[in-house]
């Protein structure tokens, strides 16, 4: 499991992208992201999650969001993306 946060914004996009690329290359199964510590989440964070999901799907793998914070859940809801990232539905609702 890869923990991300506390910010998942444009300011950290390059660093987070590198961490995600390493995680994609390192594993063979599904990729779990711990998003419980994310307090600042913007459209760059959304794009990173969607790109990661797309890359994993191409490999027959899945993206699993573990305990997405309120900031993540709210952004996905606002953008109408909760159905694309179903693991964002969790016990915090």
Return the closest-CA partner of residue 16 out of 35, 27, 30: 35
Q: Which two tokens stand for residue 42?
A: 């913007």
The Cα angle at residue 17 between residues 50 and 28, in degrees rounded to 5: 75
**24 with 55: CB under 8 angstroms?**
yes
What's the mean pLDDT in 38-54? 95
Report the pLDDT value the prediction gives residue 87, as an integer from 0 to 100: 61
What is the β-pairing status of strands 63-66 and 31-34? parallel
Output the average pLDDT for the chain: 89
What structural domains and CATH numbers belong to the chain?
Answer: 2-88 (3.30.750.24)
The predicted model gives 25-43 an average pLDDT of 93
Predicted TM-score (pTM) of this structure:
0.86
Query: For the segment 11-23, what is each residue's pLDDT rounded down to a tens digit?
Result: 999 999 999 999 9
The tens digit of pLDDT for each residue in 64-90 reads 999 999 999 999 999 998 877 766 555
Residue-wise burial string across 55-69, b where 16 or more C-beta atoms lie within 10 A, e elsewhere: ebeeeebebbbebbb
């Amino acid at each position: 499991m890869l923990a991300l946060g506390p910010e998942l914004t444009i300011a950290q996009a390059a660093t987070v992208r590198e961490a995600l690329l390493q995680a994609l290359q390192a594993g063979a199964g599904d990729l779990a992201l711990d998003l419980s510590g994310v307090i600042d989440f913007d459209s760059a964070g959304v794009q990173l999650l969607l790109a990661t999901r797309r890359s994993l799907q191409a490999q027959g793998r899945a993206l699993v969001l573990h305990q997405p914070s309120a900031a993540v859940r709210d952004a996905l809801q606002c953008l109408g993306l909760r159905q694309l990232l179903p693991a964002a539905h969790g016990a915090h609702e």
